[in-house]
Structure 1
Amino acid sequence: MRTKKQISMKEYMSLQVRFILYKSQANKMDNLTAAEIYAPLLAQKIRSKYEVTF
């Protein structure tokens, strides 16, 4: 079984913010709409690859 790379909460939030800003610009939508759509998907993706440490 592969071990997950650990990532701090600060790094996790940084990844999420950058991804949402990128998606909102790419799809020409406002940041809040992009956050509502993509944040749950991104959270699931990050948790599958990384172990978030608090």
Structure 2
Amino acid sequence: MIDNAIIFFSYKHPHLWLEINEMIFDEIEDCKKKQKEKIYKNVQNLIKKIK
């Protein structure tokens, strides 16, 4: 059912669908970047504790 709604919406409003997808992928990239930064920071803190 959701698949049909997505297909219908993307067919009727392709420009909006592209914008929505772009926003979603931007959010995903931001989350990945934040996660990498957090992991790096945690590793640096562990290294400091070990020294």
TM over 0.5: no
Bigger-Rg structure (1/2): 2
Instruction: Give the alignment's TM-score, normalised by structure 1.
Output: 0.38
- The structure with the greater share of residues assigned to helix is 2
Higher relative contact order (CA 8 A, sep 6+): 1
